[in-house]
A and B are shown apart, each in its own frame.
Chain A
């Protein structure tokens, strides 16, 4: 159950191959890759700096992965989140999930990124044409995470 916070870029194919390993029970691999957009809130983004809370970030990501594992019958999951200076089109985050069937992999992958965006102590600061600014949290992200809470879905 690898969770990493790092400044360097990641190789998606390599990371997913490592996640799969040689486990022949894996029938589905779902992945989400978040990247830096060049425009946010109508301002051109020249670069971005990601700050985090060392020590807590890793624990928070591990807790989210644990929650996904206990909720869906997935085989394994991976989260890599970059910090430091990033430019438009750079990769920010990778979530990978392996499971026997696609349903669990898709759901767990979306759950992990939704919770990461509202729970993990990471912050984006953008350098834009209008100056430097901290990105504001979005209500839509809270809504996305909240929809996993209620109503309770039937037991699988």
Chain B
């Protein structure tokens, strides 16, 4: 099936989420319905298992799009690098 409307995204997982997901990064073809950070989170959580657990509503997950801190309504576009990580603890 041709999936011409799929959006290829580079996903990056950091710190606890990297360990939980067992991957530091992956490329995904997200469906056309994934137009925002919130929609991406819901789509990834639908994988179930640790994805559902770590990305459940209410869990503190920070998301950055192309290295800039994002909000739930921040749009995502094909080619974007989207990083998911826990609240930061540097300093």
**Contact surface of A with B, Cβ cutoff 8 Å:** 34, 50-53, 55-56, 59-60, 81, 92-93, 113, 116-125, 134-137, 141
Query: Closest chain B residue to A34 by CB distance?
Result: B91
Give Cα A93 to B90, complex, Å.
9
Given A53-B12, A53-B64: A119 and B69 interface contact (C-beta under 8 Å): yes
> Could you list some 6 contacts between A and B, CB below 8 A?
A52-B90, A81-B91, A119-B88, A121-B14, A121-B90, A123-B15
Contact of B91 among A59, A122, A125 (CB under 8 A): A122
Query: Closest chain A residue to B69 by CB distance?
Result: A119
CB neighbours of A81 from chain B (8 A): 90-91
CB neighbours of B6 from chain A (8 A): none
Contact of A59 among B16, B67, B90 (CB under 8 A): B67
Query: What's the tally of chain B residues with a CB closer than 8 Å to chain A?
Result: 17
CB neighbours of A50 from chain B (8 A): 90
A122 → chain B closest CB, angstroms: 3
CB neighbours of A113 from chain B (8 A): 91
Contact: A92 with B91, CB < 8 Å? Answer: yes
Contact of A123 among B64, B68, B89 (CB under 8 A): B89
Give 7 closest A-B pairs by Cβ, nearest first. Answer: A122-B90, A137-B87, A123-B15, A117-B91, A56-B67, A135-B89, A134-B16
CB neighbours of A121 from chain B (8 A): 14, 64, 83, 85, 88, 90
A61 → chain B closest CB, angstroms: 10
Give Cα A117 to B87, complex, Å.
10
Query: Closest chain B residue to A52 by CB distance?
Result: B90
CB neighbours of B16 from chain A (8 A): 123, 134
CB neighbours of A141 from chain B (8 A): 91
Give Cα A81 to B91, complex, Å.
7
Contact: B85 with A123, CB < 8 Å? Answer: yes
